Structure 1
Amino acid sequence: MAASAAAPPAPTSRLRVVVGEEELLRARAVSAVRAAVRERHADSEEHELAAAGLPIGDLAEVLAPSLFGGHRLVVVTGVHEAAGALADQLVSYTKDPDPELTLVVVHNGGKRNEALLKTFKAAGAAVDECPKISSAGERIAFLRNEVRHAGGRITPDAATALLEAVGNDLRNLSAAASQLVSDFGGVVDADAVARFHRGQAEVTGFTVAERVLVGDSAGSIEMLRWALDRGVAHVLIADALADGVRTAARVASLNTTNTGELARQLKLPPWKVKKAQSQARGWTIDALQQAIGVAAELNADVKGAAASADYALERAVRRIVAIRAAGAAGRGERLRAGR
């Protein structure tokens, strides 16, 4: 069962608890609160802090009354890992909450710091329950709900087939449901699932790179996760990203759009030049140079410099997409200023 849509906290109690084992549902609940706060306070100031190892002074600073006025949103994640002194400070805050601050505490479930949650609930905090979705029936119900929210409908045999193909991870199931509705629309049947799964099985590092280079943030993260789930080596994905960015930069740096001429100068096959030309659209030279730097860092990260190669890849993908978007926005502003 998906977490319910989060409504704005009541005016007399700006406290909220998000609790449960399902990471996706917790993230959605926090996002819903954030959206509700922004709707009521467009210029709200936002802070998100991880409780594990958080200095008490840092928490006190964001909870203290603002000198500049305006509403604030403070999200403290992982409060099940909060040290005793930090938990005590959160408990103390509930006795006299700031009416111009919405405080959300996120707990991953279990008994640790359970008393903290009870105190928040006793103080009138709104609660978003995000329980573990553990049975096949619950996951199929989740899938059907995701497809319906995306504007489609899935047949029972298709839901079962998709669960078998994708596995139990809710993020992967959600991404698959959205993609199926986008690709096939209307009613999603078992044949659509079979065709979709065959396509996903063919995901490579180059598939990820293609989505990144055209600035498709959601698509690139989805393809990255599919590639990792299917065992594509981290180094191969990093190499594909580096190759794509370098080739786009080489094509964009030359003063010609003639595919044949570019192929001769760069000693590349025409098909690769044509693809690079398409991918280079929307990029500035400066942005491509920055992306090359990110790709170089990623190369070291996936070869042991980073604690988590999965995280390093996702971070690099998001950074490169953001660099492209910032470069395009800057170019647009310069063009408008030149008129």
Structure 2
Amino acid sequence: MVGEEELLRARAVSAVRAAALERDPGTEEHELVALGLPAGQLADVLAPSLFGGHRLVVVQGVHEAAGALVDSLLSYARDPDPELTLVLVHNGGKRNEALLKGFTQAGAAVDECPKIGNAGERMAFVRNEVRRLGGRITPDAATALLDAVGNDLRGLSAAASQLVSDFGGSIDADDVARFHRGQAEVTGFTVAERVLVGDNAGSIEMLRWALDRGVPHVLVADAIADGVRTAARVASLNTTNVGELARTLKLPPWKVKKAQAQARGWTIDALQQAIGVAAELNADVKGVAASADYALERAVRRIVAIRAAAGAGRAGRVPTRR
């Protein structure tokens, strides 16, 4: 198993384990970590068993294997035991490439587990996860799930599984919102969305609800800052073409569309002021303010007031700090 994506590596190992146990329920299992593993200990595990039967040996992190261990593994590859399944897990990169090449040349199967690095790939991952579990998810629901959970594949997979279990075959954005109510990431983005559309009462309600449930202040502050910055970037360019904006800003189209909607009612000057408030908030929640709760509520009110002033055609001056 080769690649940066930990979840995909773990799934590939699990698939091999399941196949080995199906072949022989009495399979003897060994899991080793390459870093610091003595070559002699590996040799003992790979040596033919006195009791017979199939064995499964998984060696994690072979990119960190020392030279002697690499030599021992390559020696085994030249004369493998037919009653043993050996799985090498490599986290990607250039380290110990010769080991991978040696096993590939010896006929070993390779499971590629590349990093899922962009929004489109993560969106496809979410759709495939839900489909794999027997459900369907609408595009806006998949977007909401990504906003809620972020980039962690394990979190996305767990959420997809629970959504299918809770809501059955078809999942929409309302299902995602109901399920993730109380989750830190969803709460942070929900507060940010209410702030950007100028909903003062809704923003404060969601903020207090989040804080009451112990959502970290930094997550809420980060979500607000990200929303304001993205809206400003989209609004600053003299085009409304989603594809052009996505290419220029290196953002996925779904995020551009969302930022366009949130930028309505703002002026560039007002967004710049809001960015300043978000920057102050970042420092406040990291220890500058005596009360992070108060700092968040004050920042929310200030940003909503800036938008209201901009929408009314006034100067949009940042309210003074009290």
- TM-score (normalizing by structure 1): 0.54
Which of 132, 148, 155 lines up with 1:172 in the alignment? 155
Residues 173, 202 of structure 1: CA spacing in aligned structure 2 closer, same or farther, 3 A cutoff? Answer: closer
Q: Distance in 1 between matches of 2:52 and 2:126?
A: 43
Structure 2 SS opposite 1:139: helix
Residues 230, 112 of structure 1: CA spacing in aligned structure 2 closer, same or farther, 3 A cutoff? Answer: farther
The answer as to 2:66 corresponding to 1:83 is yes
Which of 69, 87, 95 lines up with 1:104 in the alignment? 87
Structure 2 SS opposite 1:129: coil
Aligned match of 1:137: 120
1:197 deviation in Å?
Answer: 1.8
1:195 deviation in Å?
Answer: 1.1
Residues 97, 111 of structure 1: CA spacing in aligned structure 2 closer, same or farther, 3 A cutoff? Answer: same
Q: Distance in 2 between matches of 1:94 and 1:145?
A: 35
Q: Distance in 1 between matches of 2:185 and 2:104?
A: 48
- Which letter maps to 1:123? A
1:147 deviation in Å?
Answer: 0.7
The answer as to 2:20 corresponding to 1:37 is yes
Which of 83, 98, 103 lines up with 1:120 in the alignment? 103
Contact 2:149/2:185 (<8 A) preserved: no
Aligned match of 1:55: 38
Using CA pairs under 8 Å that are at least 6 residues apart, name the structure with larger relative contact order, 1 or 2.
1
Aligned match of 1:154: 137
**Structure 2: stretches of 5+ with no match in the other structure:** 187-213, 218-322
- Which letter maps to 1:89? S
Which of 21, 30, 35 lines up with 2:4 in the alignment? 21
1:56 deviation in Å?
Answer: 1.3
Structure 1 SS opposite 2:111: strand
Which of 182, 188, 192 lines up with 2:175 in the alignment? 192
Q: Deviations over 1:72-103 (max 9, x none)?
A: 10000000000010011000101100111110
Residues 199, 44 of structure 1: CA spacing in aligned structure 2 closer, same or farther, 3 A cutoff? Answer: same
Q: Distance in 1 between matches of 2:154 and 2:79?
A: 38
Contact 2:135/2:171 (<8 A) preserved: yes
- Which letter maps to 2:42? L
Contact 2:148/2:180 (<8 A) preserved: yes
1:199 deviation in Å?
Answer: 3.7
Aligned match of 2:197: none
**Structure 1: stretches of 5+ with no match in the other structure:** 1-17, 204-228, 233-339
Q: Deviations over 1:316-335 (max 9, x none)?
A: xxxxxxxxxxxxxxxxxxxx
Q: Distance in 1 between matches of 2:24 and 2:185?
A: 45
Q: Deviations over 1:241-278 (max 9, x none)?
A: xxxxxxxxxxxxxxxxxxxxxxxxxxxxxxxxxxxxxx
Which of 146, 152, 161 lines up with 1:163 in the alignment? 146
- Which letter maps to 1:49? L
Q: Distance in 1 between matches of 2:20 and 2:163?
A: 32
- TM-score (normalizing by structure 2): 0.57
Aligned match of 1:285: none
Q: Distance in 1 between matches of 2:57 and 2:185?
A: 42
Q: Distance in 1 between matches of 2:74 and 2:7?
A: 26
Residues 59, 125 of structure 1: CA spacing in aligned structure 2 closer, same or farther, 3 A cutoff? Answer: same
Identity of aligned residues (%): 81
1:183 deviation in Å?
Answer: 1.2
Aligned match of 1:272: none
Q: Distance in 2 between matches of 1:19 and 1:28?
A: 12
Contact 2:149/2:156 (<8 A) preserved: yes
Aligned match of 1:182: 165
Q: Deviations over 1:265-311 (max 9, x none)?
A: xxxxxxxxxxxxxxxxxxxxxxxxxxxxxxxxxxxxxxxxxxxxxxx
What CA RMSD, in Å, does the superposition of the two structures yield over aligned residues? 1.8
Residues 68, 139 of structure 1: CA spacing in aligned structure 2 closer, same or farther, 3 A cutoff? Answer: same
Structure 2 SS opposite 1:125: coil
1:200 deviation in Å?
Answer: 2.8
Residues 157, 54 of structure 1: CA spacing in aligned structure 2 closer, same or farther, 3 A cutoff? Answer: same
- Which letter maps to 1:30? V
